[in-house]
Structure 1
Amino acid sequence: MRHQGGFSLLEVLVAFAILAISLGVMMEIFSRASIITIASAQYSQAATLAESVLSEVGADIPLEEGITSGTTDSGFEWELSIQAVDVSEQYFTEPPATPYRVDATVLWRDAGRARRMALSTLRLGERF
Structure 2
Amino acid sequence: MNRSKAKDPATPELLVTHKNLSTQTQKQHNQKSLRTRQSQRGFSLLEVLVAFAILALSLGVLMQIFSRAMNTTAFSANYSRAVALAEAKLGSVGADIPLEQGAYSGEPEDGLDWVVNIQPYPLPEAFTDSPVAQPYAVTAIASWPSPTGARRVVLRSIRLGAPL
Q: Same fold (TM over 0.5)?
A: yes
Deviations 1:65-99 (A, max 9, x none): 11101122422111100111121333452012221
- In the alignment, which residue of structure 1 is the partner of 2:161? 125
Cα shift at 1:127:
3.8
Cα distance in 2, alignment partners of residues 87 and 59 from structure 1: 24
Aligned residue type for 1:78: W
- Please list every run of 5 or more consecutive structure 2 residues that lacks an aligned counterpart in the other structure: 1-30
Greater fraction of residues in strand: 1
- In the alignment, which residue of structure 2 is the partner of 1:105? 141
Q: Aligned in 2, Cα 1:29/1:112: closer, same or farther, shift over 3 Å?
A: closer
- In the alignment, which residue of structure 1 is the partner of 2:50? 14
TM-score with structure 2 length normalisation? 0.71
Greater fraction of residues in helix: 2
Deviates more, 1:85-94 or 1:113-122: 85-94
Q: Aligned in 2, Cα 1:88/1:73: closer, same or farther, shift over 3 Å?
A: closer
TM-score with structure 1 length normalisation? 0.89
- In the alignment, which residue of structure 1 is the partner of 2:105? 69
Cα distance in 2, alignment partners of residues 55 and 13 from structure 1: 63
Cα shift at 1:63:
1.0
Deviates more, 1:111-120 or 1:57-66: 111-120
Cα distance in 1, alignment partners of residues 95 and 110 from structure 2: 24
Aligned residue type for 1:69: S
Cα distance in 1, alignment partners of residues 146 and 81 from structure 2: 13
- In the alignment, which residue of structure 2 is the partner of 1:57? 93
Number of residue pairs matched by the alignment: 128
Q: What secondary structure, in the 3-state scheme, does the structure 1 residue paired with 2:116 have?
A: strand
Cα distance in 2, alignment partners of residues 88 and 32 from structure 1: 48
